Amino acid sequence: MIQNLVQSWPAPTSPKPVIIIGTGGIVRDAHLPAYRQAGFTVSGVFDLDHERAKTLAKDWDIPHVFDSMEAVLRNGTNVVYDLAVPPHAIVGILETLPHGAAVLIQKPMGADLAQAREIRRICRGRALKAGMNFQLRFSPMMMAVRDAVNKGLLGDLLEIEVHLNIYTPWDLFPFLIPMPRVEIAVHSIHYLDTIRAIAGNPKGVFARTMGDPRAKDFAQTRTSVILDYGSKIRGLMSINHNHRCGRKFQDAHFRIEGSKGAMIVKLGVCYDYPNGEADELWLCQNGEAWQQIPLDGGWFIESFMGSMRNVQRFDAGEDDTLFAGVEDGFETMALVEACFEANELPSVPLKLD
């Protein structure tokens, strides 16, 4: 049965061309290689930095570099709009998209829950077929985990743990320096979203997120979260991006455990970032040996294929739902917000008298 675990989202029958708005590093490194591999046509790009857009278009043989959003919007609903812009720019762009257009929005869903609520309101009002690019849940390994859980291979779900003890070169992301919310908002949001995709929403959270003198310019690079699923499922995250003691004891994994077995997911991209290592998926059913499940790709870049495939299929009526639509994305943002609110709550003092 493990050979038949679902690892990818099915391809659309007749995909529309894609127009990408925003031409930053994530587009060059992930969106464009994924779309090429998936057979999607990128018909044009737009960026406020016109020269950067021109360079990207030349490097990737993209036929059109638009001079303005007005020129972009003349394509109406004949394309899928791929928004790869900073969180604060999402609302303004969505307000201009044609009624009923298909759009894929880069995570996070705004800078905070208030912006997420506004994004949801606009998408509802304009009937946008809007997906959120929370890609990790679309990765081959996490698709397989979700399928295994749904098929009962692990029995009753009892444990979900995310553990990272790695070194992330934060100096690669200077734009994060002025942000008051960093680690959960731009990194662990992926893990929280994927946990939700597997186990649903927790009842609440306990959380601490903090800085580190080894990455002193950034608001937070360490996080601890306990997810309250009641008395059955124990959910937790332990995240440290500042382990500078070599590869030997670095670690980046998900552990999903049930009454009949467990799965371990290695998050390969987190090691030696941005070079990364291969993702891995392992399964042990009680009383048997651990076995490695071959993967049809990794978080980077195959997951980016899945999120666009789902939007394309939903737009064409081939999928009934958006696996990571704005309605679901809002719930991920609500969980992120709850973590930041929990971070401000006092701890219980020791009673030493």
Q: Does one domain contain both 150 and 280?
A: yes
Phi, psi of 109 (to 5 degrees): -85, 70
- Are 178 and 238 in a shared domain? yes
Neighbours of 22 (CB within 10 A): 22
The three-state secondary structure class of 219 is coil
Sign of CA dihedral 300, 301, 302, 305: positive
Same domain, 255 and 127: no
pLDDT score for 45:
98
In a domain, 238, yes or no: yes
pLDDT in tens, 37-91: 999 999 999 999 999 999 999 999 999 999 999 999 999 999 999 999 988 899 9
**Are 279 and 299 in contact, with CB atoms under 8 Å apart?**
yes
CA distances to 196, 215, 241 from 272, rounded to whole Å, are 27, 16, 11
Q: Distance (Å, rounded) from C-alpha 310 to C-alpha 319?
A: 7
How far apart CA 156 and CA 233 sit, in angstroms, is 9
Q: Using CA atoms, how far apart are residues 256 and 105, in angstroms rounded to an integer? A: 28
Backbone CA torsion sign across 294, 299, 303, 304? negative
Q: How far apart are CA 98 and CA 103, in angstroms?
A: 10
In this structure, are residues 124 and 100 in contact, taking their beta carbons and an 8 Å threshold?
A: no
Q: How far is CA 197 from the centre of its chain?
A: 11
Token look-up 């003092």 returns 349
Residue among 52, 136, 112, 43 at smallest CA distance from 82: 43
Beta bridge partners of 124: none
Helices 326-343 + 113-125 axis angle, to 10:
170
CB contact set of 63 (below 8 Å; sequence gap of 6+) = 43, 44, 57
- Encode the chain (353 residues) as per-residue pLDDT tens digits: 566 899 999 999 999 999 999 998 899 999 999 999 999 999 999 999 999 999 999 999 999 999 999 999 999 999 999 999 988 899 999 999 999 999 999 999 998 999 999 999 999 999 999 999 999 999 999 999 999 999 999 999 999 999 999 999 998 888 889 999 999 999 999 999 999 999 999 999 999 999 999 999 999 999 999 999 999 999 999 999 999 999 999 999 999 999 999 999 999 999 998 889 999 999 999 889 999 999 999 999 899 999 999 999 999 999 999 999 999 999 999 999 999 999 999 999 999 98
Q: Answer yes or no: do 124 and 153 share one domain.
A: no
Q: End-to-end alpha-carbon separation of the chain, Å?
A: 58
User: Which stretch of DSSP H or E encloses residue 7?
Assistant: none
353 part of a folded domain: no
pLDDT of residue 1: 59
Backbone angles phi, psi at 5, to 5 degrees: -65, 135
Residue closest to 256 by CA, chosen among 226, 287, 297, 284: 284
pLDDT reported for residue 175: 84
Q: Is residue 170 in some structural domain?
A: yes
Rounded to whole angstroms, how far apart are CA atoms 293 and 219? 38
Quote the number of domains for the chain.
2
Structure tokens at 46: 């737009």
340 within some domain: no
Residue 274's pLDDT is 85
Tell me the C-alpha to C-alpha distance, in Å, between residue 267 and each of 50, 56, 273.
Answer: 35, 28, 11
Cβ atoms within 10 Å, residue 288 = 9
**Domain annotation covers residue 328:** no
Asked whether residue 277 falls in the same domain as residue 150, the answer is yes
Same domain as 105, residue 28:
yes
CATH number at residue 21: 3.40.50.720
Task: Say if residue 122 is in the same domain as residue 141.
Answer: no
Q: Are residues 273 and 162 in the same domain?
A: yes
The reply to whether 192 and 309 lie within a common domain is no
Q: Running DSSP on this structure, what letter comes out for residue 20?
A: E
Q: 143 and 281 in contact (C-beta within 8 Å)?
A: no
Q: How far is CA 52 from CA 16, 45, 245, in A?
A: 25, 10, 37
| Beta-carbon count within 10 A of 152 CB | 13
Which domain range does residue 312 map to?
2-135+303-322
